[in-house]
């Protein structure tokens, strides 16, 4: 059995736990191999390289984009990465080799960016393509750093490990992402080595251009499909549970034993990604199951996500949501019966590359729920100039999901739980597929609503 296993940034930063719980565990030496680990950068490193994912705080890329002092930023980044290396000295990282590797990678990146800056200054090129290339180069550094260190640590523990560096820093071959992965994995005997691969893959189409910060999961999935893995495993610092333990409490947060790709897509749509939805599709089509495991509870089987699973009993499996969305309602008295009215509305959304999470309509209103960010503000301004009346309201959305909830009573129980806790439903949506009930509520009621739904639908005392 060959598995491909993804380790996220938070888990990578606790690499001693990864070593003990995931890689070594209670395995005999002959059970150690036939595993490929796809690693993310250490926690926060990609934020330093690009920009902070949540706060927007500028990293090296933003400095380069704004013609700032990106070279000094790269030097400061190098100091942080060298300090990170020292964190792993106690688990046998060869500091000298690790420092030499990352110094070389940063210096070459600095040279690439310097050349790009000169080309940009000439005014003869398409700036956008140069900036996208710079983002690709910088993105790759974090994964190369953590992958090199991981292989070094494993080898120093007497575990045979092989580095597969998919970043392409050493070649100029015009390979697609799939072609590079296929080429680099040729000839490896998985039964005799642990493979550690970078979460970033260089390709002519640009993995960042297509998937942005979800690229490591794309690499993970493409490797699993290419080598025909028996299972794809994602190691996280938490279980995929019935609800966020930080909101409902650990004792009421129940690990989900089994679900399907449809439910995983619903989670991704509200930002609670079990796995990037575009990344998961190749696995779904290849009929390769995904298992979500908790790094710090290695004996727990985790959550198995499979293509055709339907719970044998009708139940809500997961309650989730977000309080970082806004409702945009477009009202027009002339909308009634007008064929294609919403086409014009959706064209404005497409112009700003904004996808709605929920859409609800009546005779003369269309309400869409989108993420509350700067891109949304530009959209709103144009909508206000183009349509009769536009109302914008900060809201939250809570969802009740399951593979077998197309039965009478679930909607009633969910709505009653919210009503009993004095939570008003601003808007609601459910498709015919019936795997997800979406309730839009006032933002201040978000935590209360999550607790109410989890107590009523998931947690059984």
The DSSP result for 248-281, as a single string, is H-GGG-PBP-EEEHHHHHHHHHTT--SS-HHHHH
HSE on the CB side for 190, CA within 13 Å? 18
How many of the other CB atoms lie within 10 Å of CB of 226?
17
What the block records as the tokens of 447 is: 């935590």
Contact present, 19 and 32 (Cβ < 8 Å): no
What the block records as the tokens of 307 is: 């293509």
Instruction: Give me the helix-helix angle, 446-457 and 410-420, nearest 10°.
Output: 130
CATH assignment of 318-457, among 3.30.70.600, 3.20.20.80, 3.30.2130.10, 2.115.10.20 = 3.30.2130.10
Q: Which residues contact 270 (CB under 8 A, 6 or more apart)?
A: 320, 321, 322, 357, 397, 399
With b meaning 16 or more CB within 10 Å and e meaning fewer, what string describes 64-89? bbeeeebeebbeebbeebeebbeebe
Mean pLDDT for back-to-back runs of 10 residues, the chain (461 residues): 93 93 82 93 95 86 93 96 97 97 96 93 84 94 97 96 94 93 96 96 90 87 96 91 91 92 89 73 92 91 94 94 95 88 93 94 94 90 94 96 93 96 96 94 97 89 51
Residue 157 three-state SS = coil
Which residues are 371's β-sheet partners? 325
Residue 12 three-state SS = helix
Residue 45 CA to residue 369 CA, distance in Å, equals 31
CATH assignment of 3-237, among 3.90.180.10, 3.30.930.10, 3.40.1160.10, 3.50.50.100 = 3.40.1160.10
DSSP conformation class of 404: B
Residue-level pLDDT at 26: 74
pLDDT digits (tens, 9 = 90+) for 325-384: 999 999 999 888 888 898 999 999 999 999 999 999 999 999 999 999 888 999 999 999
What the block records as the tokens of 251 is: 């004792």
0.85 exceeded by pTM: yes
Residue-level pLDDT at 273: 65
Name the E strands within 51-175.
161-164
- Domain extents in the chain: 3-237, 318-457
Q: Which residues contact 75 (CB under 8 A, 6 or more apart)?
A: none
Contact present, 226 and 287 (Cβ < 8 Å): no
With b meaning 16 or more CB within 10 Å and e meaning fewer, what string describes 124-140? eeeeeebeebbbbbbbb
Contact present, 243 and 450 (Cβ < 8 Å): yes
Residue-level pLDDT at 102: 98
Residue 459 CA to residue 436 CA, distance in Å, equals 18
Residue-level pLDDT at 274: 67
Residue with tokens 């926060």: 44
Residue 283 CA to residue 293 CA, distance in Å, equals 17
Residue 139 CA to residue 210 CA, distance in Å, equals 13
């Amino acid at each position: 059995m060959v598995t491909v296993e993804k380790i996220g940034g938070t888990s990578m930063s606790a690499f001693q736990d990864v070593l003990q719980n995931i890689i070594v565990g209670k395995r005999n030496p002959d059970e150690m191999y036939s595993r490929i680990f796809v690693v993310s950068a250490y926690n926060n490193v990609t934020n330093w390289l690009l920009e902070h994912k949540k706060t927007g705080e500028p990293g090296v890329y933003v400095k380069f984009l704004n013609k700032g002092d990106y070279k000094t930023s790269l030097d400061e980044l190098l100091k942080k990465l060298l300090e990170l290396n020292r964190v792993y000295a106690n688990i046998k990282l060869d500091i000298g080799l690790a420092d030499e590797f990352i110094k070389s990678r940063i210096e070459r990146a600095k040279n690439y960016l310097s050349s790009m800056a000169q080309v940009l200054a000439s005014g003869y090129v398409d700036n956008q393509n140069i900036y996208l290339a710079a983002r690709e180069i910088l993105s790759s550094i974090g994964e190369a750093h953590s992958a090199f260190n991981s292989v070094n640590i494993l080898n120093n523990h007497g575990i045979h490990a092989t580095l597969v560096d998919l970043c392409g820093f050493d070649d100029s071959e015009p390979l697609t992402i799939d072609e590079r992965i296929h080429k680099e994995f040729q000839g490896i005997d998985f039964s005799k080595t642990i493979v550690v691969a970078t979460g970033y893959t260089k390709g002519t189409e640009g993995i960042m251009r297509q998937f942005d910060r979800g690229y490591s999961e794309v690499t993970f999935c493409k490797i699993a499909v290419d080598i025909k893995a028996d299972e794809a495993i994602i190691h996280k610092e938490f279980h995929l549970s019935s609800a966020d333990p930080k909101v409902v409490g650990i004792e009421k947060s129940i690990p989900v034993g089994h679900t399907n790709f449809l439910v995983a897509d619903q989670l991704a749509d509200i930002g609670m990604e079990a796995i990037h939805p575009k990344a998961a599709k190749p696995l779904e089509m290849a009929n390769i199951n995904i298992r979500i495991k908790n790094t710090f509870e290695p004996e727990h089987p985790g959550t198995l996500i499979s293509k055709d699973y339907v719970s044998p009993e009708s139940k809500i499996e997961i309650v989730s949501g977000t309080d970082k969305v806004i409702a945009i309602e477009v009202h027009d008295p002339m909308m009634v019966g007008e064929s294609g009215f919403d086409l014009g509305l959706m064209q404005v959304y497409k112009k700003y590359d904004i996808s709605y999470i929920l859409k609800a309509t009546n005779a003369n209103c269309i309400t869409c729920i989108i993420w509350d960010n700067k891109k949304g503000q530009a959209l709103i301004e144009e909508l206000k100039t183009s349509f009769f009346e536009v109302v914008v309201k900060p809201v939250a959305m809570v969802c009740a999901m399951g593979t077998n909830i197309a039965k009478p009573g679930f909607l009633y129980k969910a709505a009653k739980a919210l009503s009993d806790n004095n939570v008003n439903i601003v808007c609601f949506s459910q498709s015919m597929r019936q795997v997800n009930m979406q309730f839009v509520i006032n933002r201040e009621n978000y935590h209360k609503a999550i607790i109410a739904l989890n107590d009523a639908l998931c947690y059984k005392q």
